[in-house]
Structure 1
Amino acid sequence: MPGMKNVGLMQMLLFLVLFSACTPPRPDLPHPVLPSPTVPPSVSSSPQLTRFPPPTWQKITPENAAEIMELARPNLGEASHSFWTSDGSLLLVIGEAGVSVYDGITYTLINFLDASNEVTGSALSPDGNLLVLATSRDNLEFWDLETLERTDLLPIDPLHWCSGSQGRVSFNSSGKLLAIEMLYGREYCTLVWDSELRGVLHAIPGHIRPLFSPTEPNLLATYFDNNIYMRGAYDGEVLYYLPGSIDYQFSPDGDLFVTRETSEEQRDRFALWEVEGGVLRHTFPDRNEYFPSVYFVDWQGRTALAGFDTDGVLILWDLNTGTLQKIPEQDISGENNFTLHTHQNTFTSQAPAALHLWLTGMRSSGNEVVLSDHGGWVTTFAFHPDQSKLFIAYDNQPAEIYNLISGMLEAQIEKHIKLTSSFAFSPDGGVLLTEHDDFVLLRDPFSGTTLQRFNSGFLFDPRVSYLDATNQVLIFGEEKNENLWEARLTFWDPGSGEMQDTRVLEGKPDLHGRRNFWISPDERFLVSSQTGGVWIWEISSGQRVALLQHMYGKFLTFAPNGEHLLGLLGDGTLAIWDTGNWQQISQLNVPEDAFLITMNPEGNLLAVATSLADNVVVRDMENSEWIGTCQPEVHNIIREIAFDPDGRLLAIAHDNHIALCDLATQEIIYETPGQADWIPQVAFHPTGRFFLSISWGGTTSYWGVP
């Protein structure tokens, strides 16, 4: 069937391009500009494998804060590239936050190379001994893969020849040169580095997409204004130029070069050139055919160019004659050894172990870093009431359940289920509720298995909570009734999945797109910021019982015992309301730039974060006095604050760091290394044995004292 053929072939192409193995370096050809000394090749040896036992976590205290380390990282952020070392001993997976190093035979995690900032480019030297990372702070990191240590951290452009942030990074075939693409708005530039002297040789303003010849170390191709320039790599001197777009590549032997030519009058065409002299050999395909891309391939002992047409059929072109050949689907499986070449990497269908590894992921216990390539945003997370599990939901893949004792992934919620936007539990932890776009599911919290479905599709953007007092599931949202939207509470039986009762919220509040709702600890009241102030409803009746006017309702918190509601008024004051009669009982002066508040579990300490001073002031609520200020060493935007269970420590998530403040001395006693992305969420585990950070790039990290 044509459709099945198309799907099968496209799947195979996807499989082919996911897994890479570095090709052994070819002998260097002499170059006339700057001869380099011959260096005996060194053998890359695999470091001693280390199996980490599940850690026995200590409670984090001011006394042991210096021993805090990252215990596990369930998500590296988006995985951008992978390399095999030349001898196959190591597999390197490059993520936004750093590099996971795996044994190339057993796939056992050996180490995690923590980058100083977000990784934007990477390159592996041909001998497999040196890894270079470009980071978002315009630095180059050099990593020795024999010792797995960072040997240099240098500015990419110390003389400011280029303005911008870096893109692609690549080695030439000898490993002695590095090309770094610099991008910024409309200003482009390529830098060529000496990788041994660790310095810039020259800059090529306006040019991007640097590509070294796979065999000739002194040949570099760059792109500028619909032309590809062949130049000497060591001095940048232009040899000749070819018409074409940024889509180009060398053949594996370096003798041929293929470019894509763009034209407004016809579909894109590809041109095959001889590198020696820039002689045109063939152009293809015909005008009535379209190919999104072509690749050099080894096909039954000969090199050819290949591409998939719009029907998913594999097309081959003979490099000598330019003749076209269509290949039946059955011929690209089995023993045909179909190998796809791109610059300095080979992708082959004969790697089922690597294919399985990438598609299923690798997850292990202890403080071993976990390989994961989803890299999406974390939408929500929650600890299980018995403190043994962590639930994480992403925007682009199934939610996950992690065992906090072993550090292992225990279950993934069904892949076909829509985005999980929140978790809710019964107080005893026996019921897990997951909120989705137009329904709510009741699940087994240990396996993620669906036990009951609540068809709340008539409610737009539903919110869910478990009411322990009445043993009911509360789902509330907006329902359209005769072209008018009304806010509605619905009450469901967790056993049968049937709706038992419903209430319309008085006052016609606007619930569309709002996530700033709070349910009081005693489950009696629903609180939301609305026009004119904060509205309070009685959950059992849906009646509005109070309107707290002029309250800056985005920043609210209930006292842990539920007797008081605290909120910023937006004018340098903080109001405290009695939830028994909703009367204001107190008002505190706070910094005018206060924007975030939280209380410790005992309810006797209040933390207020500021937006201009980038610090947190702490108040003793029992003695009615401010006791100190926690000031992170690096002044960055504060995004979240959290007390530890004992009220001795305060975690401050600011920019891409987390600072721990000792509340007894107001000193910063620990600061995490910078992560790849901003950290908007931080939380202590209920035992206080570790804290958890979640970044916008999807990286979740556990920090503790093993």
Structure 2
Amino acid sequence: MKNTLLFIVMLSLLIACAPQEAPSPPETAPEFASSEDTPESNDQPEEGLNNETSSPREVISPENTSRITQISILGKGTLNDIAWSPDGTILAFGTSAGVYLYDGHTFEALRDIKTGYSVTALAFSPAGDKLAMGSIFADVFIYHLNENSTPQKLDRRTGEHIGSITCLAFSESGNFLVSSDTYNNVRIWDLENNVETQILIGQYGSIQSVAFTQNDTAVVSVSSGQSIHSMYLWDVQSGVQLQTWEIGSDATGLSSFAMALSPNGSQLFHSKDDNSIEIIDMASGNVLMPLIYVGESPIFGLESSTSGNFLAVGNWEDEIHVWDAVSGIELSQFDGHQGRIMNIAFSPDDQLIVSSDSTGIVHIWNPNEGSIIATMDDFVESQGTMALTTDWSALATPMEINTIQLMNINAQTVLTIEGHTQIVNDVAISPDGKTLVSCSEDRTVRFWDIETGSQTNQGDFLCNALAFSPNNNLLAIKSWDGHVLLLNEETGESALLTGGLGYAWSQSDIAFSADSTMVAAGRDHQVFVWDAINQINLYALAGHTDEIYGIAFSPDNKTLASSSLDGSILLWNLETGSQIVSLKANNNGVRTLAFSPSGQLLASGGEDGCITIWDLSSMEPIRCLGGHNRWVLRVAFSPDGKQIVSGGADSTFRFWGVP
């Protein structure tokens, strides 16, 4: 980098808006994915990304897109659930990428279970030989730990819904399993025959917990509605609803009501409007004891210990309070998390708690003292954005805890880069592979040495998108308010391309043409194209009806593609500035675009979780690659055209190709 400090004054002159957090979409299967594109069909290699048996051998073309498969996956995904084995020797973590088993004493990784689907719920059998896994597509799988075999899918005989599995619980004998889903159905499964025996329908509100009770002859489920909270008792053999109780109401209509069953179904814990907690005996329906929660923050979640003698209470202030449920005494308070509490689980002997937060950080701690035993950062969530070296040997991605991970794809090593004090918005790698640039909500743009991870320079600017020119001479820096700064790395000079344009909200990418002569970015509903050499505006392209997201130049520099929250992709003629065609991708936003090196194909990724491959000769979609269970935020073709990589809001990077 040469004289890059010269652009700091220009950076500090620009005023930018703070970003708005994007809501998570419903976790459903991609709308137009065929059955072969569902995550279950994607073969997952057991080794790293350089697995020779699954490496792509053909250049991706319109003729072979039907044979594209997921080659490998990078990242452990978004953490959804945690479970201890009954003997405490194994900790299981269910994520959007699969299941990861850790030693319950040393907390070291033991085994990865490559599922190919998002695992939303976990439960160990009483004997500890089976692990039940619920998927995002309403299926339940059984994994036999002693056999280390492929998880076996249970036969669902009723219902066509595709809601995620939310809760799982084994019977005391281990012969039956009960599950609930986001469509408020409760199913009972016969594990000797691996089939569904009953579906229990008729509950109001979101199901919070399920358990077997009364010596496995009944199932209890508890649900929370907007203002009515209920408990249901069901006969296991007939599926008949035996009893219903209203266990409280929320006069405010807020969603702060929380419930949890003890593992054996004998007790119900639930919060009340006054922030107190009631313990109800399931046999009599009597209130055993109120626990007086003194915190002012609303209760977010409850978790009972294995014995039922202890209760953990999570609140909206990222705290966890632990109570002795027998004496009613609060034992400890844990405030080690920096994000919203997502999961809480007691060890079988009640001596440890494992908990995770919205950043993906996992803490193991002593519930009697609130002291940390161990911390795991294996599941820290990535932002889903990425930058790759030109030879695709390394990938950089911002993480939720203000760090950047630089991953060596071939060696399977990770370098963590620290320095930013707030969330990192974007990263870019110079074409010569020597420099990494990052921008953050801490209003800085930082330059890093790729080999060492050390910071080499810094400028002050609230930036949300970065791009290097292919010739390695220019760096484009875009702000939330739509301003674009062009930095010449050879001379250190900078130019404001948007001078005189004023404020315009911009969440879009920024991109250079292949010959480095043009740069483009979105401003509100328009796409602006500039001459990068003479620093003048060439076009202001109007056609989208909502915010611009994706920007991509064709390899021959003749066409520009843009995508938007309006669900469309527009192709533009760069010689005339006229619109060539409008492609309707879906009813949701299209977040990212990439041309294939041949220019024959366009890949798009969006809020439906699908990577759509477009044939540009027919202007038709010819394949949907389903795998991500949340938004696809980045997509790119490899320089040789043999691979596609996609980055998702599910904290995974998936590599695709024709084996």
TM-score above 0.5, yes or no: yes
Asked whether the 8 Å contact 1:142–1:153 carries over to 2, the reply is yes
Structure 1 residues 174 and 110, CA gap change in structure 2 (3 angstroms): same
> In structure 2, what is the equivalent of residue 349 of structure 1?
352
Deviation at 1:68, TM superposition (A): 7.5
Q: Distance in 1 between matches of 2:269 and 2:149?
A: 38
Task: Give the SS at the match of 1:421.
Answer: strand
Question: Does the 8 Å CA contact 2:396/2:406 hold for their aligned counterparts?
Answer: yes
Task: Show the 5 A alignment for 1:215-230.
Answer: 216-223=215-222, 225-230=228-233
Q: Show structure 2 runs of 5+ residues with no match.
A: 1-45, 250-256, 335-342, 355-361, 366-371
Identify unmatched segments of 5+ residues in structure 1: 1-49, 331-339, 362-371, 480-485, 596-609, 615-635
SS of the equivalent of 2:215 reads: coil
Equivalent residues of 2:393, 2:410 under 8 A apart: yes
Partner of 1:125: 125
> Alignment length, in residue pairs?
562
Q: Deviations over 1:577-609 (max 9, x none)?
A: 44xxxx57xx89x6x5x43xxxxxxxxxxxxxx
Q: Cα gap change, 1:306/1:218 in structure 2, threshold over 3 Å: closer, same or farther?
A: same
Q: TM-score, normalised by structure 1?
A: 0.62
Q: Deviations over 1:629-651 (max 9, x none)?
A: xxxxxxx9987665655779876
What is aligned with 2:449? 444
Report the Cα offset of residue 443 of structure 1: 0.8
- CA root-mean-square deviation: 5.6
Relative to the length of structure 2, the TM-score reads: 0.65
For residue 270 of structure 2, what is the aligned residue in structure 1? 260
Distance 1:646 1:313 in 2: 54
Contact (CA 8 Å) 1:172, 1:178: kept in 2 or not? Answer: yes
> CA 1:452/1:242 → structure 2, altered by over 3 Å: closer, same or farther?
same
Aligned equivalent of 2:98? 98
- Cα–Cα, structure 1 residues 283 and 450, in superposed 2: closer, same or farther, change >3 Å? same
Once residues 490 and 134 of structure 1 are traced to their aligned partners in structure 2, the CA distance between those partners, rounded to angstroms, is: 49
Tell me how far 1:354 sits from its aligned partner. 6.9
* Shift, 1:689, TM fit: 5.7
- Residue by residue over 1:134-163, the C-alpha shift from the partner in whole angstroms, topping out at 9 and shown as x without a partner, is 3333333344442422333533x6157x99
Deviation at 1:487, TM superposition (A): 4.9
The 1:520/1:170 distance shift into structure 2, 3 A limit, reads same
Q: 2:376 aligns with which of 356, 360, 363?
A: 360
Residues 431 and 472 in structure 2, CA contact (< 8 A), matched pair in contact too: no
Counterparts of 2:480 and 2:260, CA distance in 1? 55
When residues 641 and 373 of structure 1 are mapped into structure 2, their CA distance, relative to the original with a 3 A threshold, is same
Rounded to whole Å, the distance in 2 between the matches of 1:399 and 1:79 is: 19
| 8 Å Cα contact 2:217/2:235 also seen in 1 | yes
Change (3 A) 1:518 1:376: closer
Aligned pair in 2 of structure 1 residues 376, 243: CA closer, same or farther (>3 Å)?
same
What does residue range 298-697 of structure 1 map to in structure 2 within 5 Å?
319=326, 322=327, 348-349=351-352, 359-361=375-377, 372-375=378-381, 377-378=383-384, 380-394=385-399, 398-409=403-414, 411-414=415-418, 416-437=420-441, 438-456=443-461, 461=463, 463-465=465-467, 475=477, 477=479, 487=483, 489=485, 491=487, 502-503=495-496, 505-508=498-501, 510-515=503-508, 517-528=510-521, 535-539=528-532, 542-544=535-537, 546-547=538-539, 557-560=552-555, 562=557, 564-566=558-560, 576-578=573-575, 594-595=582-583, 611=585, 642=594, 645=597, 656=609, 674-679=627-632, 681-688=634-641, 690-697=643-650
> Shift of the alpha carbon at 1:453?
0.7
Q: Secondary structure at the match of 1:120?
A: strand
Q: Which structure has more RCO (C-alpha within 8 Å, separation ≥ 6)?
A: 2
- Alpha-carbon distance between aligned partners in 1 of 2:293 and 2:363, rounded to the nearest angstrom: 39
Q: In 1, are the aligned partners of 2:509 and 2:521 still within 8 Å (CA)?
A: yes
Tell me which residue corresponds to 1:195.
191
Residues of 1 paired with 2:148 and 2:286: CA distance? 46
CA distance in 2, matches of 1:441, 1:51: 34
Specify the code of the residue in structure 1 equivalent to 2:630.
D
> 1:697 is matched by which residue type in structure 2?
D
Q: For each residue in 1:2-30, what CA deviation from the matched residue of structure 2 results, as whole angstroms up to 9, or x when unmatched?
A: xxxxxxxxxxxxxxxxxxxxxxxxxxxxx
Q: CA deviation at 1:401?
A: 0.8
**Map of 1:171 onto structure 2:** 170
Letter in 1 for 2:97: A
Partner Cα separation in structure 2 for residue 288 and residue 534 of structure 1? 50
Residue 210 to residue 685, structure 1, CA distance change in 2 (3 Å): same
